[in-house]
Amino acid sequence: MLTQFIKGHIMLTVTDNNRAFARMDVDCGVRFKIVGANELCQGNLHNLSAEGVSFQTDKVLANDTEIFLEVSSGGRGTPPLLANAKVVRCCEALNGNFEVACTMKISA
């Protein structure tokens, strides 16, 4: 069963596929740093849930790479989402970029 609620530019998708949390489709920028590195990288967020995130970037990231990411809320008065994440999958996309999937823990 698939139920969708559309509000603004975010679509919440609820499925019966053993996920603990629903996934939200999102189209916005994401900034991230590999833990231990100084370079600030950018990408485009595709979806997120309470425990995971998927985005596209021009950087190839190895599995188990730890990153710190920031997703701007785009709204005044709402702080950005800050999270520690670990890469679980990185594969080349059709456009030559890389599709990255991570588990994450949201920072306070």
Q: What is the CATH number of the domain that holds 70?
A: 2.40.10.220
User: Tens digit of pLDDT for each residue in 69-86?
Assistant: 998 877 677 788 899 999
43 in a structural domain: yes
Domain that holds residue 75: 26-106
5 in a structural domain: no
41 in a structural domain: yes
42 in a structural domain: yes
Question: Mapping DSSP to helix (H, G, I), strand (E, B) and coil, where does residue 41 land?
Answer: strand
User: Tens digit of pLDDT for each residue in 38-70?
Assistant: 999 999 999 988 889 999 999 999 999 999 999
Please report the pLDDT score of residue 91 as a whole number: 96
CB 43 within 8 A of CB 93: no
Whether the model clears a pTM of 0.95, i.e. scores above it, the answer is no
Q: How confident is the model at residue 18 (pLDDT cuts 50, 70, 90)?
A: low
How many structural domains compose the chain?
1
